[in-house]
Amino acid sequence: MGAESRIFVPSLFNQLHLVLHILTINKFYMPRAKESRHSPALYLALFYFLSVFDLDLSHAQQPFLENLQLDCYNNVPSTYGYYCNGQQRSCNTFVIFRSDPPYYDSAVAIGYLLNSDPSRIAEINGVLDIQKIPKDTQVIVPVNCSCAGHYYQHNSSYTMNFDDQNYFTIANLTYQGLTTCKAMINQNIYDSRQLEVGMRFTAPVRCACPTRNQTAKGVKLLMTYLIRMGDTISKIAERFGADRQSVLVANELKETDWIYPFNSLLVPLKRDPTRAQTIIPPPPSESPIPSIAPVERSKFRPVLLAIGIGAGLVLFLLCGLLVWFLHRRRHGEKKILDKKRESGSTHEQPQNMASSKPPFLNGVIREAIEILTVYSFAELEEATGSFCVDNEIKGSVYRGVINGDIAAIKRTKGDVSKEINIMKEINHFHVIKLSGFCLHEGDTYLVYEYAENGSLSDWLHEKSSRPCLSWKERVQIAFDIADGLNYLHNCTNPPYIHKDMKSSNVLIDSNMRAKVANFGLARAMENGGQMTSHVVGTWGYMAPEYLEHGLITPKIDVFAFGVVMLELLSGREAIKQGGGGASGGANEDQGGGALLLSASVRKVLEGEGVREKLRGFVDPCLGDEYPMSLALGFAHLAMECVAKDPRSRPSMIEVHMSLLKILLSSLDWDPLQSPNQNSDSFVYGR
């Protein structure tokens, strides 16, 4: 049988499979019994046809999508995923992902996005967990591929972080074509036209297991490969040591067919891929513009040349427009200043800045004014009703409405240059955002995004006015905080230490998602840590080495976060006055017989009867509505975070990944069933 016929027979099967799928699954096409009395006969005939011609699932191949993944509302079943036609219902395989700074350029970040083990990604690709991987470098990602109904997929999830995202951009830009918008629409309950920041989506990654025919020929796995500009079937097959004809057959391609960049291709492999085959940065001359790549590259060179010339002309025109615009703006600003000098008047906002600007803000304003909005005091007075009591949130923080948007306005005294310098550089969904500031009579007013549901401390310690947080909400909040701290420690340049992590500095938005706030004590991280004689912070959250020696490292944030985790688990405050005179050092007693929450957890998790003691420790308002095994894992992780020796504490990356495992298991937990039944399979580890 020739290559053509080997492709044709599976294609015929796929068409029959589609007919069965429509008749049995899609209610829109399902005929009513009284309207079609021959439906059972049709089913029997089709199944008889399959049995006679021996077109069983294990012989079928997978159709190449071409560019159908770009159509979110097509009627082509293969856009849901690769057909479940393999010899096994599940298998271990690999996908290729291109490093994409600044969000997905490390083993940890890519592992988080694709729900894969970062340590395995790092080992396979010969990098460290947190090492930055150059842009567009191909990264091997191990995944578990399983049948979900009619199609193979690897389950990952994604939380929407930007309001301009949708199923199309998430599938084709964030996941780079490893999933499709059609598949995401099919597997998520959210209307594609009403997506909001904070929503969590299922993202089914495309993968497949070998068929019986492929296994018989020695194929071990089908790797999902993302096609790059300039790729050809011959080059892909040669690089990975695959047979060219097997790649064509696996994707139902002919010799004359074209392949398309930014699309997935199955590559049959007889052994696992290696770093030498994939960690190859693309040539700098390659264009990022999506285009068609034929099987033979020589046919495509004129197209590339035309694209290059066109891109150059567009770039030249844009540069000219930019120069013209900057010249006009500078000329306009000069004319306005000249008029103001002639009239002897200036706007209230520059007056405030000139008359009340403290010396320490001279350099900060010059840098921040290009990024942040500088408000006049009159604008903030109008926004807050002259800072009336009704708009007071807590302390010196007020609720205000500016240009129709609600904001939190914080009045501060003293040197706030560090906080402004840090906040203007930070942009993360789980870190509160600074939008602007105002200087007036020696005070600085910082304008932040507004978190509708107040602080985490209010939810945990003022329960009379708020409902009880559910188990899933608590784990999600913990994960959000860890995500924000991990961003500060590992994703900013320079990295930052928060230094004042506590439940009152965690704000909750309208979707019950957490945001790290209050960077008044934050500072840039230095290699080897820093020492200070000026110890400031909140009792109960300060790490022993910071209290006793003034040592500042990222581990003091880990300690404080561990205390917040214990607050989430128990509903108790970080420090209890009159706790019976606990002793034993700074980690247990900070004066006046105050019992620390960080010391209490050891008594719960050590010795016998751990589960019974934990039931007494967990927030009573939860009742039995939590999975015991996951609560144990959560408590153990918190106890590691509050270890007295900073070297015994996990890093924020390790905490982040451990919480991801607990969160995913919690989202699968059904509170209507016995909590112990649903979660005993969870194994804690970091």
Contacts of 17 (CB under 8 A, 6+ apart): 60, 83, 150
3-state secondary structure of 449: strand
Angle between helices 628-641 and 652-668 (to 10 degrees): 170
Q: Out of 100, 480, 500, 509, which one is annotated catalytic?
A: 500
500 is catalytic: yes
- The residues that bridge with 524 in the sheet, in sequence order, are 496
- Assess contact for 519 and 685: CB atoms under 8 A: no
DSSP, residue by residue, 298-320:
GGGHHHHHHHHHHHHHHHHHHHH
Nearest residue to 360 (alpha-carbon basis) of 447, 435, 426, 439: 439
Do residues 176 and 223 lie in contact, with contact meaning Cβ atoms separated by under 8 Å?
no
* Residue 333: C-alpha distances to residues 327, 339, 438 (Å): 10, 10, 21
Task: Label each residue of 126-176 as H, E or C.
Answer: CCCCCCCCCCCCEEEEEEEEEEECCEEEEEEEEECCCCCCCHHHHHHHHCC
- The strand pair at 373-374 and 405-412 is best described as unpaired
Q: Which amino acid is at 263?
A: N
The CB-side HSE value for 159 (13 A sphere, CA atoms) comes to 15
As a whole number of Å, the CA-based R_g of the chain is 30
Nearest to 459 by CA among 514, 411, 539, 392: 514
- If we measure between CA atoms, which residue out of 82, 79, 88 comes closest to residue 214? 88
Residue in 223, 660, 329 with CA at minimum distance from that of residue 476: 660
Query: What amino acid positions are annotated as catalytic residues?
Result: 500
